[in-house]
Structures are given as structure tokens and as C-alpha cells.
Amino acid sequence: MGLVAVLVCGALPRHEPLVPCPCFLPTLVACAIPFMSDLSPRIVRVESPQGPQAQLLGRWGAAELGHRVRWRTLAAQLRDHAAPAGGWDLRGLQWLDHVGAQLLWNHWGHAWPERVQLTAPQRAMLERVARLTVVPPPAEPWRLSDQMDHLGVLVLHGMDHARNLVQLVGQLTLDLVRLARAPQRGPWRDVSGHVYRMGATALPITALVGFLIGVVLAYLMSLQLRQFGAESFIVNILGISLIRELGPMLAAILVAGRSGSAITAQIGVMRVTEELDAMRVMGIPHGFRLVLPRTLALALAMPLISVWTTLAALAGGMLAADVAMGISPAYFAQALPAAVKIGNLGLAMAKSVVFGALIALIGCHWGLRVKPNTQSLGEGTTASVVTSITMVIIVDALFAVAFKNIGI
């Protein structure tokens, strides 16, 4: 029927446009489907004098093998024809590229089968794939000695970091003594610039996070306190938790992720652009010009950021308590000084000073260890943030245990 349609269309005069008839379209599509199916990669089992033979048909190329359904079907057929006695016949293939040849070579176990029939171009393709195929080395067996060596390397690596941090702290102490002897020669312009960049510019994000944390805490605690008729104790819970613990810790974590990474990136870029080497050649000490200003600035700005974050969190908790439990802001402000002693605020600010100094020191430590390449810069920045946040949590736990009697 399709041949008749083609003959009829070919019999039209040349001056008339060739318009396909709608009634012939299903016939033409039906004739094209077997032709398209003949191009799909497949394996046919045929009989030969030597036994069953695997005959490959269709197009074994990247375009055909990239289809998921065809790939699964062909993989199942390859498993069924693991080692045919009659060998392999590739002469019926319409197309074979590197993808199909690699698939066959992997299925053959990176060795030529005993019987294979193929054309010269197909042999050249398979020989090239065989020449370029690299067999992965076998996995090394698990040994206790290797694991001990790996653990020893990690311990030595940690000791090297600890030694560098101790040297950094010692150099910072000497620089502070030098600054105390000659304060007029100190890098005060750098300190003021870092206070602005690390402190003033961090106020919006810390206020937003603190406000939202206060709202969430007040709303969740109101659901529990309402069951026991203890709504008024929300002032005590919010005051102690936010002023003593959550406010300084939230501020320190945000500053560690924001300013600590910036410190490492700044010093690391100076390493990549060889500015640190130029400073050493000119006799400019890294500790006095890079570490000291950042440590002083963050130690000064961190308590202020902590108080700012705590106030924003208390404002959020006050708002949520008013909406969820009907506790007015006036009662909240009146009951807060009686519920939270002033010692908690002093402890929070003291912790914040330690947090700021340690975050700056860790950022400078990782920045000075950056190698002159971009990959080391990214790894150092990531390690700086992770180490700073971990340090904040550990130091906060130590403060909570050591000063548990303060503010009670």
C-alpha cells in the first residue's frame, strides 16, 4: 500500500505541488516503523556449524545506547550470550563507534573471543579500544598496619596544627606587649576598619536571626507552659536561655560563618597573589599587621554583637509571648530583671570576647596555611568555618561547666 502511494504521488505532473494525502500518512508511518526498529541495537541467536552464534544487528553507537530502555535490554541480551560456542558475528552491524566497541570489549573481559567475525574497520575500532582501555588495579586488602599508619598521619597533622596555633597565640602575645609599649605606632586604622566590616555590617543578619529564634522559642514553650498554667515562667526561661547561652552562641556562629571565612579568604588570596611573600621581603611582620588587628577588632565587636543579638531575640520572644499567651511587653520588661541576674550578662559578654578572639585566630591560622592555588583556598575557607563553629560549641560547654554557679 505504501509503494502504491509513492507511485501515485510520483505520477503527478511536475508543475503541480506535491501535497501528501492524509489517507496515506498512516501507511507511510507503518512502513517506517520496521525500518526504525531495524536500527536498534540487538543480539540475535543463530545456528552455525560450530554451534549457537551471537549475531549483532542494528546501530551500536552513542545515540542508540544512550537510551535507558535500550541499554537495559541490550545488557540483558549480553548476559544471555556470555560465551556462545559459535562465537560472535559483527558483520551485520550498520554502525559501531567507540561506545559500542567499549561495551563489547568490557563484556568480553578485555580479551578477544575464540571465534569472532568482523570487518576490517570494526577490527580497527576494537583494537583501538583495547589499546586505550586501562584496567583498574585491584583493591588493596585491609591491613591493620595501614590503618595505624593512617591514624598516625592524622595525629601528626593535628599536632602540626596545634603547634602552629600555639605559635600564633605566642606571637599575638608579643605583639600585644609591643602595642602596649608604643600604642601610637599600632595599626589602629586597620582595627577600626575591621570593627566596621566584621561588627557593624553583621548587625542586620544577627538581628534577623535572633528575632526569629526568639519568636520560635516563645511560641513552642507557650504550648507546653499553657498545659500547666505556668505562662508567667516564660520570662524566666527566655531570659536565662537567650541572655546566658543562645544569644552569644548564635552571634558567634553567625560571625564564624561570615567573618571567619572572610578572614581566611582575605589572607589566602594574599598568599595566592604572593603579597605575604612581599610583606616578608619588606620586613613587615604578618602577626602585627594581619593577625593583631583582626583579633582585636573581633574581640571588641563580638560582645556588642552578642548583646545586639540577645536584644533582638528578646524582642521576638516578647512579641510571641504577647500574641500566643497574652503576656504584655510591660510585664515582660518588668519581670525580666528579677528573673535574670546581672551576672548572666557579664558571663555572656566574657564568653563573647573569647569567641571573637578565637574565631579571628582560627581564621588567620587557616589563611596563613593556604597554598598558592585556588583549591587550597577553598579547602582552607571551609576548614576555617567548620573549626570555628566547633570551637564555639566546645568553649561554650566549658564555660557552662566552669561557671555554673554564676548568675544563679
pLDDT class of 389 with cuts at 50, 70, 90: very high
| pLDDT cut 70: percent of the chain above it | 90
Q: Quick one: cell of 195?
A: 570593627
Same-domain pairing of 205 and 61: no
Q: What are phi and psi of 23, to 5 degrees?
A: -70, -15
Residue 6 belongs to a domain = no
Q: Quick one: which of 297, 306, 335 has its CA closest to 318? A: 335
Same-domain pairing of 127 and 209: no
If 0-12 CB within 10 Å is exposed, 13-18 middle and 19+ buried, where does residue 264 land?
buried
Same-domain pairing of 234 and 106: no
Mean pLDDT of the chain: 85
Q: How many CB atoms lie within 10 A of CB 218?
A: 29
Give the domain-ending residue among 78, 100, 131.
Answer: 131
> pLDDT tens-digit profile of 30-72?
343 343 456 788 888 888 888 888 888 888 888 888 777 887 8
Helix (H, G, I), strand (E, B) or coil at 32: helix
> pLDDT tens-digit profile of 144-166?
888 999 999 999 999 999 999 99
Number of domains in the chain: 2
Owner of C-alpha cell 507557650 = 222
Residue 98 belongs to a domain = yes
Same-domain pairing of 104 and 210: no
Max Cα distance, the chain (Å): 108
Same-domain pairing of 267 and 391: yes
DSSP 8-state symbol, 202: G
CATH code, domain carrying 94 = 3.30.750
Give the mean pLDDT of 179-191.
92
- Contacts of 330 by beta carbon, 8 Å cutoff, 6+ apart: none
Residue 29 belongs to a domain = no
Q: How many CA atoms lie within 13 A of 386 on its CB side?
A: 6
Same-domain pairing of 201 and 96: no
Q: How many CA atoms lie within 13 A of 39 on its CB side?
A: 10
Predicted TM-score of the model (pTM): 0.70
Q: Which domain holds residue 262?
A: 197-402
pLDDT class of 405 with cuts at 50, 70, 90: confident
Helix (H, G, I), strand (E, B) or coil at 17: coil
Q: Quick one: which of 359, 319, 341 has its CA closest to 406? A: 341
Determine the pLDDT at residue 38: 66
Same-domain pairing of 211 and 285: yes
Q: Quick one: which of 158, 328, 355, 168 has its CA closest to 259? A: 355
pLDDT beyond 50 at 128: yes
- Under 8 Å between Cβ of 74 and 42: yes
Same-domain pairing of 87 and 230: no
Q: Where are the alpha helices (DSSP H) in 369-402?
A: 374-402
Same-domain pairing of 117 and 237: no
Q: How many CB atoms lie within 10 A of CB 130?
A: 15
DSSP 8-state symbol, 110: S
The CA-based dihedral angle spanning residues 319, 324, 326, 329, taken in that order and rounded to the nearest 10 degrees: -10
Point out the least confidently predicted range of 54-58, 188-192, 388-392.
54-58
Same-domain pairing of 246 and 384: yes
User: In terms of residues, how long is the chain?
Assistant: 408
DSSP letters, 228-280, are HT-GGGHHHHHHHIIIIIIHHHHHHHHHIIIIIHHHHHHHHHHHHTTHHHHHH
Q: Nearest-5° angle of CA 232, CA 236, CA 241?
A: 140
In whole angstroms, give the CA distance from residue 187 to residue 182. Answer: 11
Owner of C-alpha cell 519568636 = 215
H helix or E strand, kind and range, residue 189: helix 188-198
Q: Quick one: cell of 311?
A: 536584644
The crossing angle, in degrees rounded to 10, of helices 292-325 and 188-198 is 30
Same-domain pairing of 264 and 369: yes
Give the domain-ending residue among 131, 151, 183.
Answer: 131
Q: What are phi and psi of 341, to 5 degrees?
A: -80, 160
Same-domain pairing of 105 and 230: no
Residue 284 belongs to a domain = yes
